[in-house]
Structure 1
């Protein structure tokens, strides 16, 4: 249970003596061996939590509850409007499904330390796969099913999986998307070849299994023997999850077992104010950090019922689908991205569909993944009459870094703020020289080391890149990559990325990676991709393209071809829809493209022309082109 003192007291205690604070929180977990070494550093000088503790995350999430009175409680509810299916698994049924799948994997040679890639849609078997890997001590890497073959291939080559788990198809709205051709194309691109691919056949599409490498999921499962959880060290990796970086190569975020389990259990009570037995729903995808943390691990470790939803908030079948699910399963706490509600609001601006359902079970709504704009926040507050909590975190942290901690001390909402730093996080705003800034001064959002449990200890097989990307700019601090400020009341305002990663509907995507794809077109001499404000998705990418001399390609045709290339290499998730042909790009005298200035122009912000620009007249040209494409502009010279 949480102490009864205030947020300020608990937060201060977590910073003054982090080892003791997190020793107390570790009591939430059913350890095989309770750790004595709470906070240590490894041979690389990096933070490690609970180094001598022993546990198994799957046991903590499933078997423990079966043995302690929750065997008949629903653990997982699968609701799929796109297929018309609903399935419920009790904790006992979930344990049996996971143990059997773990036996299947063990039969293919998977053991502690083996890597497994999971490329699947939002189906219960994907959850079973994650937990089965955790049961064996295998390291899973879930790849979002919306990613195109090149994205999957990059991850396969980095993870080097022994087994790849997939399905015959996913479903987007009413469209069946065959996965096996995408998987085969990715493997054709990849250098590393997994020993086995196991494919779940769905009724909507049958996948052809041609090679000795491919196996039918159901056939192997029928002959598998259940596997028991294995003993793991707290510092053993649980999973690898890739996030976009400032270059084309994604970063493999490593999550360990012990610190992750403790933070998941703590966050359910302290941040979300959820009790064991409550129904918790995170409407995300298993391929993202939210899906890992708050569809699978945190709710199950805490003994809750979790909802797995296959579909979209609108057109599956209507804009009332979210309300229907809250009513049907008596959801107590709901968590999704603001983008989902902007889509619902667009379809049902008066929230009239909300009144067709009984939402009395709902105690709180949490939004994250992007800034919740004030109109959407106000609309939700009026429609639901429950706390609407915007909070902020990253794939790297795995849980909330800034939040209104409802389980400790609910605070008044300020539109645009994610509220205050969560216990364990020493958040500071720094200037270019690493000096701490005062209230209302915007700078780099940084976290003073050590980071609390669950935060990445390093990158997969790339500790030098981890140090360079996150720890080198400001020694003693973790650089989040976001800019922002803290107001006089201690409320944190996150203003956006300071690198070239943009946030499209809660998905972090690299504009640098998009530039590589756009720049590979034979007609393109150079390009810049920037993220501009979007009322629906938060941000969306826009490409500015300079053609090679002598090229006469029609701009509309070029735009179509570039859109296709982005979809093929990155996926529809990028929402790349605009490529604007310009004569030249604004640059500094040293040749650096002024992407921030382009974004400000596109967003209609006031822009002061940088003194380092090579040719100020280019700004007028860019402004004219953007305006001709109905992208609003305003700037001051």
Structure 2
């Protein structure tokens, strides 16, 4: 690794944060040594209809994986996000909505949001929804998506949100897997100036499904859509006559709140099941401490509600904490590359949370990419979704703030419900590229391939030794698969599927998925480390590294490189990049192939589809699977035509 700079805690930030170093250390110690007492206290983050007396009942034992938190408590999640704020703070802004078109925006108060949620709750009940039903959402990033999620929570229905970029085939499998009887969608979505046929995709998806009884359609663009009388209803019509008074359903803490499907390395997508009480405590607590959120702050997470980040850090965590949360329909580069800066300036955003993919995409356009946007409101920056390379970390801090804002590089998963390893801005010094230290109650560890614990500075498989309140409870309808996926590789611990390195200060560095770890001539190395080295070169804007079968070394190193404006891929540059990686990591990491990638195959959420890159690198591209969810499927043909390994 290159020399890594440590950024000390800013004394001013520490003085005004929820936790300075001493507070954080004491809280973390109590969360481990007296877990029950600690989590009993933290239950006070939410309002209970019936206070829990049983705090933790968890087992990771083979054949008996059973996770319960606050099991005798009763609450309603939507009431915690809305009703409890109304008497004193009802006129405060809950959601700022920024449309794809910069001219479109709305400010929705807690009182207004509560009324909309109550009306839609009553409308859903009138359409036949009931407690325990699974209701699927396939929505654009509009306020009605938040209304729909909260209405499901209010009536005790389980929501299953599908990202608006998924194909009809992907929708169909998820609807059938959850036996969903109601779908909420829109006529179209808008993203980057382009329309997306959401209703048309739903129609295709459910053409051969018997479980769907109603399709509720929000008018986003007003375009004509196909209509099935008796099944399809307009959102606007059914809420128009509905009452804005509704008593929330009493829910047990362990009743399911939502299912969220995540892709597995094998088999069908997994519908991870999150519950009501523990999840909400976890989402609210992490949002408060990690973002150091204070009343009156304007908080912006750029994710989509179709992913766990949108669930926990656009909707549930912020609204439970009475935050003002910004929902963004658009993309970073529309209408110009300065859009993020313009939105920050327009709404005076204080905390900004985005993905390394977005940061690196903007990096290639230079330090002035945000133009003359006023970013003085920024107090904190966050990173989510994948490891951020140190160069992007440094650039992010310099360009998106005055150069002094703390960065919280958060490691967590759909399965964890919320942040797991992360800095806290007032209490943990940061190292660019490191997720740093565990959040309260989280006990990470490294094990070797035989499951033996590794102590001290080391690299290995990242596991979590004990449960935490936000943990997923099961895979919907298939608890055996839940146990096999997360608890059978290494017994009596939760296996994250990620590799990590722990340094001499106990800081964790995520090296990538274990299946993204290369084994070159018996040496293990994370693809993220090689990618980070490539992106540190002045010519590189983005890189993706995969392994491919090598006759001598077992695996060779294949690098896809996107160049910054003004650079061309020449034989000389390939040699320079190869030597650059050799110098940064060592000769064992020298790339075997470097291919120019004008674009990388990414989903619309920005996730790189590495399975496609592996296939092309292996010269085995006949069956690439479903590429319909890619933001730009045409990049795949370019990569195939210009592949290096023939």
- SS for the counterpart of 2:200 is helix
**Residue of structure 2 in register with 1:293 after alignment:** 312
Q: CA deviation at 1:573?
A: 7.6
1:618-637, aligned counterparts within 5 Å?
A: 626-627=643-644
CA distance in 1, matches of 2:407, 2:377: 15
**Residue of structure 2 in register with 1:473 after alignment:** 489
**Matched-pair contact (CA < 8 Å) for 2:19–2:427:** no
CA distance in 2, matches of 1:352, 1:500: 31
- SS for the counterpart of 1:627 is coil
CA distance in 2, matches of 1:544, 1:45: 34
Q: CA deviation at 1:532?
A: 6.0
CA distance in 2, matches of 1:545, 1:539: 13
Q: Normalising by structure 2, report the TM-score.
A: 0.79
Distance 1:328 1:578, change over 3 A: same
**Residue of structure 1 in register with 2:445 after alignment:** 428
Q: CA deviation at 1:44?
A: 4.8
**Matched-pair contact (CA < 8 Å) for 2:498–2:513:** yes
Q: CA deviation at 1:126?
A: 0.7
CA distance in 2, matches of 1:63, 1:216: 27
Q: Normalising by structure 1, report the TM-score.
A: 0.80
| Candidates 275, 286, 291, aligned match of 1:267 | 286
Whether 1:173 and 2:189 are equivalent positions in the alignment is no
**Residue of structure 2 in register with 1:337 after alignment:** 355
**Residue of structure 2 in register with 1:492 after alignment:** 508
More off after superposition, 374-383 vs 76-85 = 76-85
1:373-522, aligned counterparts within 5 Å?
A: 373-383=389-399, 384=401, 385=403, 386-406=405-425, 409-449=426-466, 451-499=467-515
Consecutive unaligned residues of structure 1, counting only runs of 5 or more, are 505-527, 547-554, 583-624, 630-637
CA distance in 1, matches of 2:499, 2:480: 24
**Matched-pair contact (CA < 8 Å) for 1:72–1:92:** yes
CA distance in 2, matches of 1:471, 1:302: 33
The two structures, once aligned, show a CA RMSD in angstroms of: 2.9
**Residue of structure 2 in register with 1:47 after alignment:** 67
Deviations 1:77-129 (A, max 9, x none): 11013373111100000000110011110101112111100001111111100
Deviations 1:174-224 (A, max 9, x none): 2111112211111125x4431101111223523221332111111112122
- SS for the counterpart of 2:239 is helix
Q: CA deviation at 1:284?
A: 0.6
1:494-573, aligned counterparts within 5 Å?
A: 494-499=510-515, 539-541=608-610, 542-543=612-613, 566-568=626-628, 570-572=629-631
More off after superposition, 431-440 vs 105-114 = 431-440
Q: CA deviation at 1:268?
A: 2.1
Matched positions, count? 543
- SS for the counterpart of 1:273 is coil
Whether 1:577 and 2:596 are equivalent positions in the alignment is no
Whether 1:91 and 2:107 are equivalent positions in the alignment is no
Distance 1:573 1:225, change over 3 A: farther
CA distance in 1, matches of 2:43, 2:350: 25
**Residue of structure 1 in register with 2:543 after alignment:** none
CA distance in 1, matches of 2:49, 2:171: 36
CA distance in 2, matches of 1:242, 1:277: 34
- SS for the counterpart of 2:509 is strand
- SS for the counterpart of 1:475 is coil
CA distance in 1, matches of 2:488, 2:645: 42
Distance 1:575 1:154, change over 3 A: farther
Consecutive unaligned residues of structure 2, counting only runs of 5 or more, are 1-16, 518-526, 532-554, 563-599, 601-605
Whether 1:251 and 2:270 are equivalent positions in the alignment is yes
**Residue of structure 1 in register with 2:32 after alignment:** 15
**Matched-pair contact (CA < 8 Å) for 2:65–2:483:** no
- SS for the counterpart of 2:515 is coil
Distance 1:41 1:489, change over 3 A: closer
